[in-house]
Amino acid sequence: MPAFLSLIAMNSLDWMAYGLLLFCFGGILGALFLYLRTAYKSGGWKRVRRDFLLALGALVAFFLVRILENQELDSLKDAIDGWFK
């Protein structure tokens, strides 16, 4: 079956999930645009560069913390599974 036909045959719940992910991604991009536009109006390009780096650092820190938390949970699950095998 060609790839485009498998897209048509997806479940409606899958379409809603993809739509929600696209909506969330668009919301994040929109918020970033408004944040940087406000920074430009208040301080010019120098302020935009500083605030962009600050926002990017905050997003990277958030995702790193989430990855580290999940890694700890995975290692804890592996340890518990080892005890009960």
Number of domains in the chain: 1
Tens of pLDDT along 17-75? 889 999 999 998 998 889 888 888 888 888 888 888 988 898 889 888 888 777 777 77
Residue 28, domain extent: 3-83
8 pLDDT band, cuts 50/70/90, is low
> What pLDDT was estimated at residue 20?
94
pTM over 0.85: no
Cβ burial of 8 (10 Å; 0-12, 13-18, 19+) is: exposed
pLDDT at 30: 93
